[in-house]
Amino acid sequence: MKKVITYGTFDLLHEGHYRLLERAKALGDYLIVGVTSEAYDKTRGKLNVVDSLATRIENVRKTGFADEIIVEESLGQKVQDVKKYQVDIFTVGSDWTGVFDYMKDYCEVVYLDRTKNISSTMLRIQNRRIQRIGIVGTGRIAERFVPESKLVSGVSTQGVYNPHTESAKKFADRWEIEAYEELEDFYQSVDAVYIASPHETHYDYIKSSLGHGKHVLCEKPMVLKKAQAEELFQYARAHDLILFEGIKTAYCPGFNRLLGVACSGVIGNIRNVEVCFTKLENPANRELTDSLYGGSLTELGSYVMLPVLKLLGDSCEDIRFDVIRGENGLDLFTKISLVYPNAIATATCGLGVKSEGRLLISGTKGYLVAEAPWWKTSYFEVHYEDPLKVDKYSEPFLGYGLRYELSDFLSMINGRNSSEFKLTRSESVALAGIMKKEHFQMKIWAHRGCSQMYPENTLLAFEKAAIGGLEGIELDIQMTKDGELVVIHDERVDRTTEGSGFVRDFTLAQLKRLHIYADVHPGQEIPTMKEALELLTPFMRKGLRLNIELKNSVYPYEGMEEKIVDLVGMYGLEKNVVYSSFSALSLERLRGIDSQTEIGILDTRVSDCFYKLKGGCGAQALHPYWQAIDLSAERLQGYTVRAYFGGHLYPEKPTGTKLDLAALEKKGITDVFLNEPERYL
């Protein structure tokens, strides 16, 4: 009689288990099934096991394939079982290929092909089902995720999507999952999405996944703009979906124990937090070559800011960034200094400078210290005034730590909200806000709204720009025959509407009868400045800025300055607005009306902006053409330099040109006005 033995947790028994047992039985005459005990699952790092041992044994018995069921309770038991039961064949799934080759010294070893595409026809136990998870991305983190996911019960890695199909196919072949060429097919096959793609793609993939009704676990940093984080969390909450930011440290047992001890009062009131995480990255890697989305803060900032936010909160009174940059403008070493009402903190991260990595929490009675790698918290100490008194704590950190975040993600999906405190929505939003403060030294403005994708200077173009997490929006105002402020760039209506003539010769009612060329976006008309402010006020109250260009250098509209200042004042948005004009005289009048308002002087060359500045218009900012920076960065130091970029306007095709923002920053430019700002977010 040929005896076969196999092992597993067999939690939430599903068709993959069923098929494995069926094929194992077919290998011989007598099948022995080893079911892991709760204690052994815990020691080997298996998380989130739902069913009791008795239930799992009963479910295996009900399949009808097991001739004998035993309990696996310890490491090394497999060899003893093979000897004890005189087993001929040891078999497990092919996802363990190679791991049990040592068993060949005792019997034949067979790796059975794993079941791809676990369907939704799973056994439903206690109203829970296996979550089929799909991976977006095929990089280093995704490679680590698959083996970690095997150690979390209740989840099946279904497939992978990467727009580079060859990479997806190689990844899928390696891990015996499906590769999807189309996102729609991918979404139809999964219940939840794990996003491990390049940082700049996170926002779009999260939004798309949520839009398809999928729960989302996204690796850090989730997004790089506070407004984007708020938008995505709001959408997820409204549609009863889980959106989870994957910072493994936040979910590991050791770090949570550390936070508990720190906040327990044993070190008194916390007054200082110092945290550091550095590593020397290969200069050729993406982290140090991607001028938009690389750098130490993007890569490591989430880790170092996590303990600060958890211990001191997100309401600091002041925040400062001190940065050492490489030749390409990327931050090699960043120190964030934060001031709170009763505490201070420093969070340091680096990819090109090495420093001592540790977490130090200072209190009024003692201090807590965790040495590197504190972000994989497994050991920390509490010290007191008495140097002989030291409390020591330890907790295992298993594998890469991804199993912890996946386990808590699954718990949230299953309605157990006990994990939400480990990284709250507000903390994720705060992290995104901190990324925005430093990540984009170059501030991005939408020129006439998102004017390459949508008709320029329309409410549609402004709305699309407002939700994109930009620094601000630029628009242009003219004045009608009856004294109304309207948003349009040209002095004439000919280019953008079916009408002909000067704006100043139309009444508002006559302008409203004109239609803006909009093709697939019908119904667009010339908006009034009041309509624009009605739309943008909610966004501006959250930090969006507005640059209002007064188009009065060709035709000096009488009273335009008073009208626009009064209108902005009605909405209480004075601090959110920048006024600009090619007319220095107009800017002087603005300064006379509102001495506190911010003013930018427009011209082609930055040197001409300086010339006008000397005339006494009171401008604080220079608004030149981006290719006409004819003064040195040293000469421009201390000035806000907002450069405008000429690109194509709707409905023209995109230029295909993408600015090197780091290079422009070196020239002294601080902000850019872009027709297609969405390409940079």
Catalytic residues: 447, 489
Residue 112's Cβ-side half-sphere holds a number of Cα atoms within 13 Å equal to 23
The torsion defined by the Cα of 672, 678, 680 and 681, in degrees rounded to 10, comes to: 120
Full DSSP string of 199-242: GGGHHHHHHHHHHTT-EEEEESSS-S-HHHHHHHHHHHHHTT--
507-511, Cβ contacts within 8 angstroms, sequence gap of 24 or more: 507/480, 507/481, 507/482, 508/480, 508/482, 508/484, 511/480, 511/486
User: In sequence order, what are the beta bridge partners of 162?
Assistant: none
Residue 469's Cβ-side half-sphere holds a number of Cα atoms within 13 Å equal to 25
Q: What are phi and psi of 562, to 5 degrees?
A: -65, -40
Q: Which helix (H) or strand (E) holds 175?
A: helix 165-175
Helix, coil or strand: residue 427:
helix
Structure tokens at 358: 């540790």
d(CA 201, CA 196): 9
Full DSSP string of 486-512: EE-SSSBSTTTBS--SBGGGS-HHHHH
Q: What is the DSSP letter of 456?
A: T
Closest CA to 581 of 530, 534, 619: 619
The torsion defined by the Cα of 407, 410, 412 and 415, in degrees rounded to 10, comes to: -130
d(CA 261, CA 254): 11
Q: Which helix (H) or strand (E) holds 88?
A: none
Q: Which helix (H) or strand (E) holds 183?
A: helix 183-188
Closest CA to 549 of 613, 602, 596: 602
Q: What are phi and psi of 457, to 5 degrees?
A: 50, 40
d(CA 239, CA 147): 31
DSSP collapsed to 3 states, 608-623: HHHHHHCCCCCCCEEE
d(CA 585, CA 582): 9
Q: What are phi and psi of 532, to 5 degrees?
A: -65, -45
Q: Which helix (H) or strand (E) holds 109?
A: strand 108-112
